[in-house]
Structure 1
Amino acid sequence: MPQALEGLKVLDFTQLLQGPYATQMLGDLGADVIKIEKPGSGDIYRKLTFFNEWIGGDESLCFLPCNRNKRSLALDLKSPEAADVIQRLAREADIVVENFRPGVMDRLGYGYEALHKLNPRLIYCSATGWGPDGPYRDRPGQDLLVQGLAGVVMASGQRSHGPVAVGTALSDQLGALHIVYSVLAALYYREKTGHGQRIEVNLLQSVLAYCMQDFFTVHNGGRSFERPDSGIAHPGNGAPFGIYRTADGYLSIAMNPWPKVVEALGEPDLLRYDDQQVLFDQRDEVFHAIEAVTVTRTTAEWLDIMLALDLWVAPVNEQKDVADDPQVRHLHAFREIEHPKAGRLRVTDIPFRMSETPGDIRRPPPLIGEHSREILEECGLSPEQIDALYEKGTVTTEALTPSPSQP
């Protein structure tokens, strides 16, 4: 079947998580994503991994999840010869995404103005940590730093234990989503007008937008959020909203009519808290009263009881168990792919369905410069020109099994 973004060419100058995740999403929908990497070392994320563990010898647990459906061109952007290659690619490209610090692409000669002159239809997205200008322009921007500055960590965790960062790279992944939806909007505009444009996305505003309810309340309700000292899951909510220990694990209980919660718990004396203001003002006390009951049964037993009353509840899974959850299995949320070095890998699948143009995983994450030669051939370079670039080290290809014929 056709794919929604089939025929679009993306030049991907990104590394780490924010940019690569965004371009992977475009690739999942059919775009031809050409990942421009530094010869020898490639994307910085290739050298970082969780637990200091590697797959297939030296493949990163951090790099592999966000770089499928791409081809890699290992090209030294500082070499004089690179300019001709980038210009050839830019003339035919639809989208450029880069996440260098502000000003780097301009100094290299590949900023928006330079490439826009070559291709007025080009959509050029720059992704930064703090924005393209302002007092923090030159600071390093990273997920944890943004979570802290944006107030996210101060809204998480227990009051007595201090703020807690969200247990995933929230800022980067939200930034990636903002890249994708702004690029898709620019593509629609280009279809109507023929004009490309410049897009600037930053981690900070991506997180601030994500926290819209919280900031709206702070700025318009005149009250700041304070972390509870129990497992209440949001500083603006009262009981029972939270995570509760059971006999064999944990259970999430969301917003529910208090009398129905009391009925499920089988503790009628808890009706004394049946007032919304009391459930907020005394939420820590109520939390501990609920948990004193939930620890007496297993998570499965509570699910049977509470779901029969149509309460909003769910199990709390360890990450290693999520793939075996019946609904996760039903949705085919994970699938397996084959990587030339790392072997068989389980990855998260495309998270939505499209009836006419479904996405697909066509390529595993590439090796550094794995597709350099074929990309240069598509640019119109002759075999002799390509060989010359290899000889100078301007272009490289990582080989699984080097041979005398390998450039």
Structure 2
Amino acid sequence: MPSVPAAPLSGITVIDLSHVYNGPYATFLMAMAGATVIKVEPHGGEHLRSRGDMGGAALPFAMLNSNKRCVTLNLKAERGKALLREMVARADVLVENFAPGVMDRLGLGAADLRTLNPRLIYGSSSGYGKSGPYRDYPAMDLVMQAMCGVISVTGQPDQPPVKAGPALCDFSAGVHLYGAVMTALFQRERTGEGCVVEVTMQDSVYASLASNLGMLHARGGAVPPRTGNRHGGLGISPYNAYATRDGHVVINAPGDAHFRAILDVIGRADLKDDPRFNTRAARVAHMQEVDALLEAWTSLHTKQDVADRLLAVSVPCAPVRELSEVVRDRNMHERGSLQWVDHPGLGRVVLPHSPMVFEGSPRVPLQPSVALGADNEAVFGTWLGRSDAELEELSRAGVI
């Protein structure tokens, strides 16, 4: 029988000092690619775990911390710092998303730790970076959406701006941080040396505004600040959310062939040669008429019926689904991207696996997040060699 290939990051050890979303998502991706990820938390737990008493944070913590070993460590105590240094000496990667300067003030900055282990990849993420005039500004996703321009382009043109629903700045930074660490590991294979990588939330978001920036370039001061559900560059029509009998459906017809197919489906083939609609430029110039034409038809049908009919002729379209529908998505469950898990603290819940699939390597089994400090004995005892008596003494001293 052929052997089962090892997961891509098998044998890589990651020390995870990060909290909330962006760093933990990067290390979650590493864990689901097979790395051994040791999550180091203060005695009260990282910020997201400690938000669990507010009712909404327990599941996000579980989503981002599957397949991680969890230990507690007081990094303000000298003996706590010493234990971290021992861990770093044996590790491949360290990830943190503290404010710039925090790790240096603890004596645990990149330069100090890479002196102990020159092969270490030190990955950090912050709102604005460790250099530049915004270095010391506090950063959370809402603040970053405002600073990055996301809020200014989100919402209806005649209404106040609104934030994007998902925490896109945090997760965009997390994906980029994962990519940066993987790139550094590849470089280490060539050179034998580790390095420091940095990702900021601000830098990670800019490229996602491409359509809006394109319109700014093309139209200058005439650019509208918000386009609602229409194309960010107002360059495609139809491109909108349309009312149905039971909700809404989105339709995007970037090419003339798409729109001709729509006209066939809605029974208006007579409009194929109408000069208002026969080219993309014409449809953009008559956006309101295009939208009115489509909504007169979509409003007579259910959102799924509209989607089924248009998808059958290869028109990009989807029902606007509620989250309760999304967590049961049959495509993601069949592919293993979403999985039902019996979580020890939350009961039966849906948790995500990694979006990255490595052909020939089976998915790493999803292991639910564990309680605060659950792996203290395994990491500090078995891995670092501390005896039971030493562990008890470290606990009494407030180190672990």
What is the TM-score when the length of structure 1 is the normalising length? 0.88
Structure 2 residue 23 is matched with structure 1 residue 19: yes
Show the 5 A alignment for 1:49-88: 49=52, 52-53=54-55, 60-88=58-86
Q: How far apart are residue 364 of structure 1 and its match?
A: 1.4
2:276 counterpart residue number: 273
1:385 counterpart residue number: 390
Specify whether residues 183 and 230 from structure 1 end up closer, same or farther in structure 2 by C-alpha distance, changes over 3 A only.
closer
1:42 counterpart residue number: 45
Q: Is the 8 A contact 1:72 1:366 kept in 2?
A: yes
Unaligned stretches of 5+ in structure 1? Answer: 396-407
Instruction: For residue 60 of structure 2, give the secondary structure of its aligned residue in structure 1.
Output: coil
Q: Is the 8 A contact 1:155 1:235 kept in 2?
A: no
Specify whether residues 42 and 324 from structure 1 end up closer, same or farther in structure 2 by C-alpha distance, changes over 3 A only.
closer
Q: Is the 8 A contact 1:158 1:227 kept in 2?
A: no
Once the two structures are superposed, what CA deviation does each residue of 1:356-407 show, in whole Å capped at 9, x if it has no partner? 3334245311211111121112112233322211111111xxxxxxxxxxxx
Specify whether residues 105 and 248 from structure 1 end up closer, same or farther in structure 2 by C-alpha distance, changes over 3 A only.
same
Specify whether residues 203 and 253 from structure 1 end up closer, same or farther in structure 2 by C-alpha distance, changes over 3 A only.
same
**Alignment RMSD, CA only?**
2.3
AA partner of residue 9 (structure 1):
T
The number of residues matched between the two structures is 389
Q: How far apart are residue 200 of structure 1 and its match?
A: 0.8
Q: Is the 8 A contact 2:154 2:164 kept in 1?
A: yes
Show the 5 A alignment for 1:106-185: 106-185=104-183
Unaligned stretches of 5+ in structure 2? Answer: none
What is the TM-score when the length of structure 2 is the normalising length? 0.90
2:188 counterpart residue number: 190
Specify whether residues 247 and 74 from structure 1 end up closer, same or farther in structure 2 by C-alpha distance, changes over 3 A only.
same
Structure 2 residue 351 is matched with structure 1 residue 347: yes
Instruction: For residue 124 of structure 1, give the secondary structure of its aligned residue in structure 2.
Output: strand
Specify whether residues 249 and 176 from structure 1 end up closer, same or farther in structure 2 by C-alpha distance, changes over 3 A only.
same
Partners of 1:161 and 1:220 lie apart in 2 by 24
Partners of 2:125 and 2:226 lie apart in 1 by 35
Percentage of identical aligned residues:
31
Instruction: Answer with 214-223 or 8-17: which moved more.
Output: 214-223
AA partner of residue 193 (structure 1):
T
Q: Is the 8 A contact 1:19 1:97 kept in 2?
A: yes
2:209 counterpart residue number: 211
1:401 counterpart residue number: none
Q: Is the 8 A contact 1:48 1:62 kept in 2?
A: no
Instruction: For residue 14 of structure 2, give the secondary structure of its aligned residue in structure 1.
Output: strand
Q: How far apart are residue 313 of structure 1 and its match?
A: 1.8
Instruction: Answer with 147-156 or 210-219: which moved more.
Output: 210-219
Q: How far apart are residue 154 of structure 1 and its match?
A: 2.0
Partners of 2:336 and 2:117 lie apart in 1 by 40
Once the two structures are superposed, what CA deviation does each residue of 1:11-55 show, in whole Å capped at 9, x if it has no partner? 11100100011111101111111111011x1110112259x426x
Once the two structures are superposed, what CA deviation does each residue of 1:131-186 show, in whole Å capped at 9, x if it has no partner? 11222111111111111211122222210122232211101111011111110110
Show the 5 A alignment for 1:3-14: 3-14=7-18
Instruction: For residue 211 of structure 1, give the secondary structure of its aligned residue in structure 2.
Output: helix
Instruction: For residue 300 of structure 1, give the secondary structure of its aligned residue in structure 2.
Output: helix
